[in-house]
């Protein structure tokens, strides 16, 4: 389905979860690239409602799924809901897209891995999630692949953006309490702005790329090092203390190694992926 503007046919792109942190930036980026983009989100749209999904797939050329259950710790006690949103609904989306001949781009996460590798994770490495959130996201990956639709799967990590709560904004809020702040130093990854993700996805959309890709900013840092960077750039005087993950009590275990090898997706992008410091500094200037 395309809509004709003058003599130019504009592809109709549906963004599920379009009001969230990633979805908001993605809708804006798609519109700027000239796509006829439509945003769908709660309460009017529910990805677990098959009729809602069917109506969207039927009226779109491409579907980008940002809708997800993202409460990592909450998934430990609400596993059924997490799997319904992150796995079953994604499988249904894939089946409808296969039946109607539509392309789907879906997001997954570094949490499908256990974080025990001593090198960055490649797309071909075997998943082994260590929490319910990761298991629900892996379930979505498997059901999407099994559906037979034309799809692109993009795994993300450590994302932050202007339109939602994230590690960066939560850390800044905690710093304002004046209390000591303890942050893990043995979890390593790449802080990745949703604006970077949105621009990369627009390129994948234009190419109708297929397969699985890892996407993150260039370079790596610990959660503790990332927090140090934030406080230094903002000039905040905080009693910041490092700890190990085993000393930090949380319902869900986290992978220690979240590093991605992004060479596969980099080959499809026009520009090099920017260093994590560059994106994070720009984000902090905008706060």
Do the Cβ atoms of 153 and 141 come closer than 8 Å?
Answer: yes
Catalytic-labelled residue, pool 40, 121, 133, 151: 133
Residue whose tokens read 């700890």: 243
What gap in Å lies between CA 135 and CA 253, rounded to an integer?
12
What gap in Å lies between CA 111 and CA 214, rounded to an integer?
12
The residues, ordered by sequence, that sit 6+ positions from 1 with a Cβ below 8 Å of its Cβ are 12, 58, 59, 60, 61
Handedness of CA 219, 238, 178, 222 (dihedral sign): positive
247 DSSP assignment: G
- Burial bucket for residue 116 (CB in 10 Å: 0-12, 13-18, 19+): exposed
Do the Cβ atoms of 110 and 122 come closer than 8 Å?
Answer: no
What gap in Å lies between CA 13 and CA 61, rounded to an integer?
6
Strand partners, 36: 12
What gap in Å lies between CA 174 and CA 240, rounded to an integer?
11
Handedness of CA 42, 73, 230, 216 (dihedral sign): negative
Residue 133 known to be catalytic? yes
As annotated, the active-site residues are 133
């Amino acid at each position: 389905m395309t809509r004709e503007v003058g003599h130019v046919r504009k592809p109709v792109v549906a963004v599920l979860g379009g009001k969230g942190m990633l979805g908001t930036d993605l809708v804006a980026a798609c519109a700027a690239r000239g796509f006829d983009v439509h945003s769908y989100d709660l309460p009017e749209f529910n990805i677990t409602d098959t009729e809602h999904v069917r109506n969207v797939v039927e009226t779109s050329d491409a579907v980008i799924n940002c809708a997800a259950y993202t409460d990592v710790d909450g998934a430990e006690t609400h596993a059924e809901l997490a799997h319904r949103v992150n796995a079953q609904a994604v499988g249904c989306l894939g089946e409808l897209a296969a039946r109607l001949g539509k392309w789907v781009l879906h997001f997954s996460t570094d949490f499908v891995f256990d974080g025990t590798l001593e090198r960055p994770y490649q797309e071909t490495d075997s998943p082994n999630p260590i929490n319910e959130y990761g298991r629900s996201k892996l379930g979505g990956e498997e059901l999407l692949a099994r559906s037979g639709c034309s799809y692109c799967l993009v795994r993300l990590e450590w994302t932050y953006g202007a339109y939602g709560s994230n590690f960066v904004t939560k850390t800044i809020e905690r710093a304002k309490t004046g209390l000591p702040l303890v942050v893990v130093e043995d979890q390593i990854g790449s802080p990745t702005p949703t604006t970077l993700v949105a621009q990369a996805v627009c390129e994948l959309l234009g190419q109708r790329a297929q397969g699985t890709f890892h996407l993150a900013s260039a370079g790596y840092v610990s959660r503790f090092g990332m927090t140090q960077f934030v406080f230094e750039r903002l000039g905040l005087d905080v009693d910041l203390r490092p700890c190990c993950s085993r000393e930090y009590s949380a319902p869900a275990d986290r992978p220690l190694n979240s590093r991605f090898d992004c060479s596969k997706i980099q080959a499809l992008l026009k520009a090099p992926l920017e260093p994590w410091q560059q994106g994070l500094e720009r984000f902090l200037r905008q706060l």
